Amino acid sequence: MHPYLEETLDRVRSRNAGYPVFLQAAGEILPTLEPLLGEYPEIEELNLLERFCEPERQFLFRVTWQDDDRRIRVNRGYRVGFSSVLGPFKGGLRFHPSVSLDIVRFLSFEQILKNSLTGLSLGGAKGGSDFDPRGRSDHEVMRFCQSFMTELHRHIGEQTDIPAGDIGVSQREIGYLFGQYKRLVNRYELGVITGKSASWGGSHVRKEATGYGVVFFAQAMLRARGDSLEGKTAVVSGAGNVALYTIRKLEELGVRVISCSDSQGSLHAPGGIDFATLRQLKEVERGRLSAYPLSSGDTEYRPGQSVWDLPADLAFPCATENELDRADAERLVANGCRLVCEGANMPCRTEALEFFREQGVLHGPGKAANAGGVAVSALEMQQNAALEQWPFAEVEARLEAIIQRIHDRCRRLASRYSDPDDYRTGANTAGFVRVVEAMRAFGF
Ligand code: NDP
Ligand code: 2IT
């Protein structure tokens, strides 16, 4: 390993000892940037790698709210602005009991390269809370969001930092958050947050964007090998926003999706999942996956089981980080899987990725494959700034073009620094090169 890279990794490790998931991401990304060191001497001269690994700013705050029984509850809120070198801080908010500073920092770090890959002017950020929206009434969620925004509003703005959704934060939460922001600042500043409902300032296709983009990316990877999606079978983990719209687009393009999951188990539907039924259950009724109607005889809900043991040509991890380990990867490959495309952020453990590479399985890294969400967020900001709303078909066409561009750029840099199918090296180097050029331009 190049001595500068080794020294930087050592310093990053010692400075972040309490942040294992962030270190996992840094340990996965930094070594793939090694081939850039020869071509860009300023990376070492200006110590750009170490600067890249240190967040520009982090906020940690108390969020106090009242539940329906009038008990006072206390949660933690986070917002990490990792890099504003390519544009204002931009990235989602996650509400889930597992949220910690470590998780938010890892997500924020990944977001820098993802946002860079879109080619748009977006810095990298992430935030959230350990609040668990599950089982909470609408009013409880509203009071939590209002309290969360009461602190967050000081740190955000359409030129400063623009949040959006992530796990546990959908259009409902975005509405409550925006409503409180508007109240506090006395401005109808639509561009301060994305993922808004298309009925009041949101963009068409934002809800569908991440999942649709994941499928466009998989399609582009297959096309580059002279293959296509049609007629294939797939498993998709998760049953939230990203999983739902991955399933929808896969079905539209002729793929049979035989399984999806939640944190408690998986649904196996050998004849194919019915998207309309699933959407009604998950998005409209906010029900559990175990309540999916088992109308056809061979459909079953498998408590405690993931989707990775089922035979399928394609796998789409769309739930959460580190959800797919080496044993899962071995099962998938033994059952004939040839492509893994990530809807979630860092869903595959490093050993699983190594195994896929050894086996020649095509791998679409999340920061490239799931960039459709943030890309359409940027289109939402553009529409807000122009006081416009573009038609659904137009936004979808732009999304598909952006994903194709990201794919081609990853492939080009992968060919240059590794081999054409090494999308991981391609995505990391393509994302980092833009960051390097802007950092150099701005001085220190
Ligand atoms: P949602 O909250 O809509 O859905 C999350 C899904 O993942 C749920 O089905 C949930 O099940 C499941 N899940 C959560 N934690 C676990 C776990 N520990 N084990 C198994 N399943 C779990 O979130 P999104 O669909 O928005 O996000 C999914 C992933 O996609 C995340 O990694 C997110 O960072 C990433 N992403 C999201 C984007 C977006 O625009 N929303 C953009 C780019 C990436 P349960 O209900 O049981 O908790
Ligand atoms: O991980 C992600 O890219 C998101 N949660 C979406 C971020 C955004 O600003 O739309």
Query: Of the residues 208, 374, 383, 399, which should be mutated to test ligand 2's pocket, given the most ligand atoms within 8 Å of the CB?
Result: 374
What residue numbers bound the domain in which 432 lies? 1-52+422-444
Same domain, residue pair 237 and 270: yes
Residue 144, domain CATH: 3.40.50.10860
pLDDT of residue 165: 98
Ligand whose nearest atom lies closest to the CA of 194: 2
Contact call for residues 352 and 294 (beta carbons, < 8 A): no
Mean pLDDT of 397-404: 98
Same domain, 240 and 354: yes
Cβ-Cβ contacts under 8 Å for 2 (sequence gap 6 or more): 34, 37
Instruction: Give 299 Cα–ligand 2 centroid separation in angstroms.
Output: 33
In sequence order, the 6+-apart residues with CB closer than 8 A to the CB of 257 are: 233, 234, 235, 236, 247, 250, 251, 272, 273
Residues 30 and 110 in one domain: no
Whether residues 127 and 229 share a domain: the answer is no
Residue 50: pLDDT above 80? Answer: yes
Query: Which amino acid is residue 233, in one-letter code?
Result: T
Distance CA(27)–CA(13), nearest Å, equals 9
Pocket of ligand 1 (CB under 6 A): 165-168, 210, 238-243, 262-264, 318-320, 323, 343-345, 370, 373
The structural domain count of the chain equals 3
The C-alpha torsion from 235 through 239 and 243 to 244, rounded to 10°, is 110
Q: Closest ligand 1 atom, CA of 264? A: 47
**Chain mean position to CA 37:** 28
182 tagged catalytic: no
Which one, of 237, 235, 220, lies nearest residue 423 by Cα? 220
For residue 87, tell me if it sits in a domain.
yes
* Whether the predicted pLDDT of 382 surpasses 90: yes
Is 81 inside a domain boundary?
A: yes
Task: Identify the pLDDT of residue 93.
Answer: 98
Mean pLDDT, residues 124-142 = 97
Q: What's the gap in Å between 83 CA and the centre of ligand 2?
A: 15
Q: Please give the average per-residue pLDDT across 260-280, as a whole number.
A: 97
What distance in angstroms lies between residue 418's CA and the mean position of ligand 1's atoms? 31
**Which residues have C-beta atoms less than 6 Å from ligand 2?**
90-92, 114, 164, 166, 194, 345, 373-374, 377
Percent of the chain with pLDDT over 90: 98
pLDDT of residue 53 exceeding 80, the answer is yes
Sign of CA dihedral 158, 161, 162, 168: negative
The pLDDT value recorded for residue 297 is: 74
386 found inside a domain: no
pLDDT of residue 293: 86
The answer, yes or no, to whether residue 49 has pLDDT greater than 90, is yes
Same domain, 48 and 63: no
- Residue 415: Cβ within 10 Å count: 14
- Give the domain-ending residue among 130, 155, 188: 188
Final residue before a domain boundary, out of 155, 188, 221: 188
Tell me, what's the pLDDT at 19?
Answer: 98
**pLDDT for the residue numbered 438:** 96
Q: How far apart are CA 402 and CA 375, in angstroms?
A: 8
Residue whose CA lies nearest to ligand 1 atom number 46: 262
Q: What is the pLDDT of residue 98?
A: 98
pLDDT band at 422 (very low <50, low <70, confident <90, very high): very high
Residues 175 and 38 in one domain: no
| DSSP secondary structure, 7-35, as one string | HHHHHHHHHTTT-HHHHHHHHHHGGGGTT
| Same-domain status, 227 and 355 | yes
What pLDDT score was predicted for residue 295? 72
Residue 294 confidence (pLDDT): 85
User: Which of 93, 104, 166, 348 best tests ligand 1's pocket when mutated (most atoms within 8 Å of CB)?
Assistant: 166
The answer, yes or no, to whether residue 296 has pLDDT greater than 80, is: no
Task: Determine the Cα–Cα distance for residues 329 and 235; give it in Å rounded to an integer.
Answer: 13
Cβ(56)–Cβ(82) under 8 Å? Answer: yes
Same-domain status, 324 and 287: yes
Write the CB contacts of 370 (distance below 8 Å, at least 6 apart in sequence). Answer: 114, 210, 213, 214, 242, 342, 343, 344, 345
Strand partners, 271: none
Helix axes 326-334, 350-358, angle to 10 degrees: 30
Sign of CA dihedral 276, 242, 115, 353: negative
- Within a domain: residue 46? yes
Q: What is the mean pLDDT of residues 72-93?
A: 98
Judge whether 404 lies within some domain: no
Q: Which atom of ligand 2 approaches the CA of 377 most closely?
A: 10
Q: Do 305 and 347 share a domain, yes or no?
A: yes
- State the distance from the centre of ligand 1 to the C-alpha of 293, rounded, in angstroms: 22
Give the Å distance between the CA of 442 and the centre of ligand 1: 36
Task: Indicate which ligand has the atom closest to the C-alpha of 322.
Answer: 1
Q: Which of 90, 126, 249, 282 is labelled catalytic?
A: 126
SS (H, E, C) 278-310: HHHHHHHCCCCHHHCCCCCCCCEEEECCCCCCC
pLDDT (tens digit, 9 = 90+) per residue, 75-85? 999 999 999 99
What does the pLDDT read at residue 439? 95
- Assess whether 41 and 147 both reside in one domain: no
Residue nearest to atom 36 of ligand 1 (CA): 344
Alpha carbons 379 and 373: distance in angstroms, whole number? 10
* Per-residue pLDDT at 227: 98
Percentage of the chain lying above the pLDDT 70 cut: 100
Q: Which of 130, 134, 263 to mutate to test the pocket of ligand 1 (most atoms within 8 A of CB)?
A: 263
Q: Assess if residue 348 is contained within a domain.
A: yes
Q: Whose CA is nearest to atom 43 of ligand 1?
A: 370
Q: Which ligand is nearest to the CA of 380?
A: 2
Q: How many CB atoms lie within 10 A of CB 55?
A: 18
Residue-wise pLDDT tens digits, 193-233: 999 999 999 999 999 999 999 999 999 999 999 999 999 99
Atom 47 of ligand 1, nearest CA residue: 263
| Interacting residues of 398 by C-beta distance below 8 A, sequence separation 6+ | 379
Q: Mark whether 252 and 348 lie in a shared domain.
A: yes
Residue 392: which residues within 8 A CB-CB, separation 6 or more?
204, 205
Q: Is beta strand 362-364 parallel, antiparallel or unpaired with respect to 256-262?
A: unpaired
Q: Are residues 43 and 72 in the same domain?
A: no
- Whether the per-residue pLDDT at 444 is higher than 90: the answer is no
Mean confidence (pLDDT) of the chain: 97
Whether residue 228 is contained in a domain is answered as yes
The torsion region of residue 131 among left (phi > 0), alpha (psi -120 to 50) and beta comes to: beta
Residue after which a domain boundary falls, among 188, 217, 234: 188
413: pLDDT confidence band, cut at 50, 70 and 90? very high
Q: What is the pLDDT of residue 287?
A: 95
CATH code assigned at 266? 3.40.50.720
In a domain, 437, yes or no: yes
